[in-house]
Structure 1
Amino acid sequence: MIQRRQLLAAGACVLGAPALVRAQGYKGEYRLSLVVGPGTTWYTAAENFAQLVRERTAGRINMRLYPAASLVQGAQDRELAAMRQGTIDVLVGTTVNWAGTVKDFTTFLLPYLMPDTKAVDAVLASDALNKDFYDIIRRAGAEPLASGEYGNIQLLNAKRRIAKPADVAGLKIRTVATPLQQDVMNALKANPTTMSWADAQAALASGAVDGLTLTLEQALAYKVATLGQKQVTRWNVFNELIHFLVAGPVFKTWTPEDQQLVRAAAKDAAVELTRQVRKPVDDTLKQQGFEVYSPSAEEIAQWKAAVHPVYDKWKASLNTGLIGKIEQAVAQAK
């Protein structure tokens, strides 16, 4: 009799676990939105994060990936608003995509803010990011878990080798939906064009658009050389961060223990993301037919001078205290 009671009690514990999770307010599935699709390090990082969370919480927290911003019909600038409305539970992405909702999210797109990996590492370890910027994210309704490097966003085109700012003049360049990046293109006398990635592929293939900005690993993953975009310029104007966020109300439904497990999983995924982003890709670029040009120090100085007015304009309109702290962290890294 005692043995039978013990077996029944054990079975009740197992069967009762899902009910206990539901009673705590846990969902059966958490919707994770990201802009990119499979094949990119960004997607792999989100996938790795979701897997680590599932394993470390023993299945209590299951995240399902929704790539290509599919939860907002591809409108990546609407992700944060959708999170606030409860449509999205988790975000893995760059804050510039949500800058239309929170202007200060434009900060990390400032041209030449983080010119090299030392600068990125300094920012990732700084209070400017982990305290000041994360507080901005929390006020926007999300809980920041971790951040990793996105990688330099380079300039690609189908027309000609671009070495200096004057070479961009007149080219129609697809950009993300942010006024700052459009201001950069206008400063270079290019023609910035905003469109979804699906529309961009057709426009690039037909020649209706001359070029675009992408990280090199994304250029490889999307095989944009097949769209004629074979000329690559390592201008290193932009280098963003990818952030792992959970909707504030959702995060609060988890136990403190699970909150810690999820945060640790995000940090591990962010570290691996940064490591993957920094892997050399030159050989693969050549194999896919890309022609890569690295501007000289003199030419980089020209690029910096050309976009500096944009930097000054946007710094004045954003959180100058935060940007000053980021600049200080970068300067100390040098």
Structure 2
Amino acid sequence: ATVVAGDVGGTNARLQLYSSAGELLLDRRYPTAEHATFAGCLSAFLAEVDAEGIAQPAAAAIAAAGPVAGNACEMTNLGWTVDGDALSSELFGGAEGAVAVLNDFEAAGYGVAALVGEANAAAREDNTLVVHAAEAVEGAPVAVLGPGTGLGYCTLAWSGERYSVLPGEGGHASFAPRGARQRALAASLEARDGYCEVESVLCGKGIVSIYEHLKEDLGESEEPLPVRTPAEVTGAALDGSCRVCLEAVDIFLEALGAEAGHAALRALCRGGVYVVGGIAPRLKGRLDEVGHLRDGYLYKENAKFSELLSTIPLYVVTDTDVGLHGSR
């Protein structure tokens, strides 16, 4: 028998087919803009499975970006509904419970769980960057957050035998700016959107929003700066071709570090804080050069909590498939 593991974000749907022995048989990525529904996307994948002459799957586990209730997810940043029961009926021969739907960061949490603790030290070393080194407490809570199309959140809690994942929507909490520069950014975004949540700053579109905010103050007056995508902002920052992009990335990293610190404090996550997703690893060059992520995390100007945070390790997970691993 074969099974499908899926990770569905606002931009791409990643689908993989595994044998019962855990062998990867097929791996595909579908831009969500090319399909009207997730059912259509999954149907395209199953058609490729058939074309490859591989046995059709008996079950699927799909991680989707949004809150899950009743085995269904109304995706937050995409007009898709991922309904496990309907998919079981339509595409899996009516087999009850054939398709399980979980929150994307619940899946990421299960993937991160395989990196936590002394027993997983080798895997952690191979798949993370250590931003702040400290000794994690075995079995203590662990915080996971990650900017991508949106900002995902979850907490790992030790059950006595393994970690359980508590999904959350912390990205929609209000943004807590630090200093005049971030307060001006927050005011600008609130004026534009009517609100400023953490996800307004800490996601791909958030990087562009920071860049757009800075253009007027930091841009070259004689040559207006172009409109850029998130990838173009980070690319121009890393190659040094645009100082406004560099400033935007540095503000992003400072804010991400601060939010990682908030996550650590809310549940006393002495087991560590793990930043996942594709954006942070892409900024490795900047992480190596400056300490904005670490500085935002520790925030030494306020000794009330910086001493506690200094005892909690902070990692960036470099394996961008961690959510897929968790959905398996």
Query: Highest CA radius of gyration, 1 or 2?
Result: 1
Q: Same fold (TM over 0.5)?
A: no
Q: Which has the higher contact order (CA 8 A, sep 6+)?
A: 1
**TM-score for both structures, normalised by structure 1:** 0.28
**TM-score for both structures, normalised by structure 2:** 0.29
